[in-house]
Amino acid sequence: KQEVTQIPAALSVPEGENLVLNCSFTDSAIYNLQWFRQDPGKGLTSLLLIQSSQREQTSGRLNASLDKSSGRSTLYIAASQPGDSATYLCAVFTGGGNKLTFGTGTQLKVEL
Amino acid sequence: DAGVIQSPRHEVTEMGQEVTLRCKPISGHDYLFWYRQTMMRGLELLIYFNNNVPIDDSGMPEDRFSAKMPNASFSTLKIQPSEPRDSAVYFCASSYRATEAFFGQGTRLTVV
């Protein structure tokens, strides 16, 4: 059974800092890994998708990396802004039936 | 495309009543996922479909929960009878061949 864990559970940083969010998964037989953002009371917004054959993806100030062999992914946020405050979730499509399993999330607060 | 559409956005019902949540996936997507989100348990996968066929319903908590996908453009999640502990936000998501998943805005269910 695939288990996805995110560390830390919560993070508070001053504006302008670069930060790293971590995601680990137990079954390395994944197809893709996706990072999402969720604002309070809202749905999930897709940020980045990394296919299993890729090592990283970039979108603006966001960079996500994937190391399948170690079961890890990181989301790097450069020059953080208060508008980045949200919960960040990673999810993996696991082989076989393409089940989409979510991590526990990291709640980020960027302070002025 | 308008994205994944869920209805209703909010539902308040009395314990013991039947509740039906609806989802319209993105046209052309062949996977549909139902999730439940609570503060205590995070995002839980309830059931998912591939080409309208249920693949894994191991996350459905009890026989009170049932889901159907009569065609490629519509799915329902039904709770009968509802209980206060079913109160949560229910999300529907769709994807094409286990690539990027897109979420609806969710249905906030309150059972009193």
User: Confidence band (pLDDT; 50, 70, 90) for B2?
Assistant: confident
Q: What's the average model confidence in pLDDT over B61-84?
A: 96
Which pLDDT score is estimated for B1?
Answer: 67
Q: Locate tokens 């139902």: which residue?
A: B34
Of B45, B93, B102, the CB nearest to A101: B45
CB contact under 8 A, A97 and B50: yes
Residues 6+ apart with CB under 8 A from A23: A4, A5, A6, A33, A35, A72, A73, A74, A75, A90, A103
DSSP B62-92: STTEEEEEEETTEEEEEESS--GGG-EEEEE
Q: Report which of residues B61 and B13 the model is more confident about.
A: B13
What is the maximal distance between C-alpha atoms in chain A?
45
**pLDDT number for residue B65:** 97
* A35 three-class SS: strand
Amino acid present at B9: R
Give the tens place of pLDDT for each residue, A82-99. 999 999 999 999 876 688
Q: Which residues of B touch A99 (CB under 8 A)?
A: 45, 48, 55-56
Strand order in the sheet with B5-7: B5-7, B19-24, B74-79, B65-71
pLDDT of residue A1 exceeding 90: no
Residue A94: per-residue pLDDT: 86
As a whole-number percent, the residues of chain B with pLDDT over 90 amount to 89
Q: What is the percentage of chain A residues whose pLDDT exceeds 70?
A: 97
Check CB contact under 8 Å for A97 and B31.
no
> How close is the nearest chain B Cα to the Cα of A99, in Å?
8
Residue A26 predicted with pLDDT over 90: yes
What burial letters (b/e) apply to B28-48, b meaning 16+ CB within 10 Å? ebbbbbbbbbeeeebbbbbbb
Give A13→chain B minimum CA distance, Å.
23
Q: Nearest CB to B98: which of A43, A93, A105? A: A93
- β B10-13/B107-111 pair status: parallel
pLDDT at residue A108 in the model:
97
Using a CB-CB cut-off of 8 Å, the residues of chain B touching A32 are 98-100
Instruction: Tell me if the bond preceding B54 is cis, omega within 30° of 0.
Output: no
What's the DSSP call for residue A84? G
